[in-house]
């Protein structure tokens, strides 16, 4: 009798844990938050063929890819026409000396760590995880970034699959 109750509790806990995890990842796939400025990767990375590292220079040298500063954006856009509403928004941030509060697009669970520098050094392209951003007017999360998805990639590349590689 006692074994049956313990088994029931374990099953109930598993359902709650996996159900909650499933809801978390379900809500992040195709995650497309509203941004303070309509930034088009299609124009910048696609039409102008700007390398990802031009704006996300942290990806080569640190765990975090980073979001470009207003100064980085104004560095190019200061020399261009400023009559579009989105460039006017950029200029307002610059004039007010305020950072742009971009909404996070790609989400991982709190207990997971991802190191951009290690992936870049291993030759993993940005598109592997982020999808073809050079074709996206509005960036969205295209990969599930679930553990199984990441493990499949690690196995294909012969990368480490021990728990501490990604979890802390």
Q: Please indicate, yes or no, whether residues 52 and 96 belong to a single structural domain of this protein.
A: no
Task: Say yes or no: 127 and 160 in one domain.
Answer: yes
Q: Which domain holds residue 127?
A: 2-32+39-69+105-165
Instruction: Decide which of 56, 86, 101 is a domain's last residue.
Output: 101
Both 94 and 117 in a single domain? no
Q: Are residues 59 and 127 in the same domain?
A: yes
Shared domain for 93 and 160, answered yes or no, is: no
Which pLDDT score is estimated for 83? 81
Same domain, 9 and 51: yes
Contact at 8 Å (CB) between 105 and 99? Answer: no
Q: Whole-model pTM above 0.75?
A: yes
Co-location of 55 and 127 in the same domain: yes
Do 75 and 27 sit in the same domain of this protein?
no
Do 60 and 116 have their domain in common?
A: yes
Predicted confidence at residue 18, as pLDDT, reads 56
Whether residues 140 and 113 fall in one domain = yes
Neighbour-count burial for 42-67, b at 16+ CB within 10 Å, e otherwise: bebbbeeeeebeebbebbeeeeebee
Domain count, the chain: 2
- Cα of first residue to Cα of last residue in the chain, in angstroms, is 37
Written as six digits, the tokens of 73 are: 């954006």
Q: Are residues 52 and 132 in the same domain?
A: yes
**pLDDT for residue 79:** 82
The three-point CA angle 31-37-43 to 5° equals: 85
The list of the chain residues with pLDDT below 70 reads: 1-29
- State residue 4's pLDDT score: 65
């Amino acid at each position: 009798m006692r074994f049956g109750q313990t088994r029931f509790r374990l099953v109930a806990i598993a359902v709650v844990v996996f159900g909650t995890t499933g809801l978390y990842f379900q809500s992040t796939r195709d995650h497309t938050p509203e941004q303070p400025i309509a930034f088009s990767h299609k124009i910048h990375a696609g039409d102008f063929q700007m390398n990802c590292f031009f704006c996300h220079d942290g990806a080569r040298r640190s765990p975090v890819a980073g979001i470009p500063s207003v100064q980085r954006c104004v560095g190019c856009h200061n020399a261009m026409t400023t009559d579009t509403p989105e460039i006017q928004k950029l200029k307002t941030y610059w004039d007010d000396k305020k950072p742009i509060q971009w909404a996070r697009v790609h989400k991982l669970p709190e207990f997971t760590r991802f190191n951009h520098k290690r992936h870049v050094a291993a030759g993993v392209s940005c598109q592997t995880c982020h999808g073809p951003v050079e074709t996206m007017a509005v960036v969205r999360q295209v990969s599930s970034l679930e553990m199984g998805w990441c493990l499949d990639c690690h196995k294909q590349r012969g990368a480490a699959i021990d728990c501490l590689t990604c979890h802390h």
